[in-house]
């Protein structure tokens, strides 16, 4: 799963691509979030991607993102701003 979040002005969106071990496209998603931050868009993208994978019965997944801080949320929940 390759996930990305984006913000233009204050409008956020996220999306992701799913590929198998050969690079063949398995699926994709996009989501308009509205007013938000890049961090939130990235984390929300992860959650949507994991939900998508679960709906398709994919239990062995590799999550990729260019947002190190968003990836750390899965290692340490206290890094989520309140």
Each residue of 39-81: pLDDT tens digit?
889 889 988 999 999 999 998 888 888 777 777 776 766 655 5
In this prediction, residue 32 carries a pLDDT of 95
Residue 12's domain comprises 2-70
In this prediction, residue 78 carries a pLDDT of 66
What CATH number is associated with residue 47?
Answer: 3.30.420.10
Q: CA-CA distances (angstroms) from residue 35 to 40, 62, 65?
A: 10, 29, 21
In this prediction, residue 62 carries a pLDDT of 87
Number of domains in the chain: 1
In a domain, 77, yes or no: no
- Six-digit token pair at 23? 């690079």
- Summarised one tens digit per residue, pLDDT across range 19-28 is 998 999 999 9
In the numeric block, the tokens 């994919």 are attached to: 58
In the numeric block, the tokens 């984006």 are attached to: 6
Q: For residue 54, how many other CB atoms are within 10 A of its CB? A: 11
15 pLDDT higher than 90: yes
In a domain, 62, yes or no: yes
In a domain, 79, yes or no: no
In a domain, 18, yes or no: yes
């Amino acid at each position: 799963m390759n996930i990305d979040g984006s913000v233009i002005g204050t409008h956020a969106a996220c999306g992701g691509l799913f590929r198998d071990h050969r690079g063949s496209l398995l699926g994709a998603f996009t989501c308009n979030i509205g007013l938000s931050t890049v961090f939130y868009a990235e984390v929300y993208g992860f959650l949507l991607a994991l939900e998508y994978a679960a709906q398709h019965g994919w239990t062995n997944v590799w999550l990729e993102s260019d947002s190190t801080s968003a990836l750390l949320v899965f290692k340490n929940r206290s890094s989520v701003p309140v």
